[in-house]
Amino acid sequence: MEQSNLSSREPVLEVRDLRKDFTIHVIGRHVEALNGVNLTVGAGEHVALIGQSGAGKSTLLRCVWRSYRPTSGHVWLRQRDGAQIDLATADDREVADIRRQQIGYVGQFLRAEPRRSVLEVVARAGIRRGAHEDDATDQAVTALREVAIGEDLWGTSPVVLSGGEQQRINLAAGTLYPPHLLLLDEPVASLDAGNRQRVLERIGHLARDGVAVLSVFHDLEAVRQLATRVVALCDGNVVADGAPNEVLELVAS
Ligand SMILES: Nc1ncnc2c1ncn2[C@@H]1O[C@H](COP(=O)(O)OP(=O)(O)OP(=O)(O)O)[C@@H](O)[C@H]1O
Ligand SMILES: [Mg+2]
């Protein structure tokens, strides 16, 4: 990736004073899930979010992906062409275009159209990000091999497959023809050791290729293996942001 011009040194993602409140009227519950979060992710950086259950990790990823609309604050994305957009306030259509072309989101569950085959689901993710059909199919084949989805499954619908298989297909799709910014929410949660390692390696290559990655991993071994920086959240606040070994040591003490 081009690193020489000035703009490429600016962060790809810059989250400023981000707040997200939830009010559940029927039970009279009000939650301040994010309380003014600041963080940045640069090209080729892998920033891992850590923190206890309920700390706000998934909420933060969803505010960036904009499946949640932030209550206030900014989610600046420096797009591939260098233009900045605030995803916190951009209109839905603009967000949909940017998501399709520049952002990957891999959660624990695959949402695939029932009538598409495994190979199509993965290749289409690349086509949405600008790959030509043939190229996308070639890359989909490579990606599926990398995450150990056997050729006998490529023609079937992913909806009939196991949770772990779906998760690997999801990861293959989310990383094909790599997005500019990749959001990962526990992408190896239901994988056995061998498949987990394959998926982690694929994620590691992406950051090295210049993709900006913001992740949540349940197991800290994955964080140690992949993160270039760790941000710790507690009750919706950033309580530490720094080198992985320093932050992990801090939270362990
Ligand atoms: N859609 C929602 N409606 C109401 N409250 C929500 C919603 N999503 C999240 N919350 C609340 O916001 C807080 C943060 O939740 P979040 O899912 O971000 O935590 P997390 O750090 O991802 O936790 P975990 O490690 O368990 O996945 C929690 O108190 C949660 O109950
Ligand atoms: Mg979560």
- Confidence bin at 9 (pLDDT 50/70/90): low
Q: In what order do the strands lie in the sheet with 229-234?
A: 103-106, 181-185, 212-216, 46-50, 229-234, 237-242
* Percentage above 70 pLDDT, the chain: 96
Q: What is the pLDDT of residues 192-222, one digit of tens each?
A: 899 999 899 999 999 888 999 999 998 899 9
Ligand 1 atom at shortest distance from the alpha carbon of 68: 1
> Residue 114's pLDDT is what?
77
Q: Among 192, 244, 191, 196, which residue's Cα sits nearest to residue 220? A: 244
- Confidence bin at 8 (pLDDT 50/70/90): low
CB burial readout 123-142, b (16+ within 10 A) else e: bbbbbbbebeeeebbebbbe
Collect all residues with Cβ–Cβ distance below 8 Å to 144 and sequence separation of at least 6. 118, 119, 122, 154, 169, 172
Residue 153: CA count within 13 A, CB half-sphere? 19
What one-character DSSP code corresponds to residue 227? -
**Residue of the nearest CA to atom 16 in ligand 1?**
56
**Residue of the nearest CA to atom 5 in ligand 1?**
22
Mean pLDDT for the chain overall: 92
Rounded to the nearest angstrom, the distance between the alpha carbon of 130 and the centre of ligand 2 is 30
231 lines ligand 1 (CB under 6 A): no
Which residue stretches of 10-117 are H helix? 57-65, 92-102
Q: Among 187, 149, 148, which residue's Cα sits nearest to residue 167? A: 187
Sorted by where each starts, the structural domains of the chain and their CATH numbers stand as: 6-252 (3.40.50.300)
Collect all residues with Cβ–Cβ distance below 8 Å to 133 and sequence separation of at least 6. 123, 127
Q: What is the pLDDT of residues 45-61, one digit of tens each?
A: 999 999 999 999 999 99
55 lines ligand 1 (CB under 6 A): yes
Q: What is the pLDDT of residues 57-85, one digit of tens each?
A: 999 999 999 999 999 999 999 999 999 99
Better-scored residue on pLDDT, 111 or 74: 74
CA angle centred on 236, ends 18 and 196, rounded to 5°: 100
Reported pTM:
0.93
3-state secondary structure at position 2: coil
Q: What is the pLDDT of residues 116-159, one digit of tens each?
A: 999 999 999 999 999 999 999 999 999 999 999 999 999 999 98
27 lines ligand 1 (CB under 6 A): no
Q: Report the alpha-carbon distance of residue 211 to residue 214 in Å, rounded.
A: 10
Collect all residues with Cβ–Cβ distance below 8 Å to 252 and sequence separation of at least 6. none
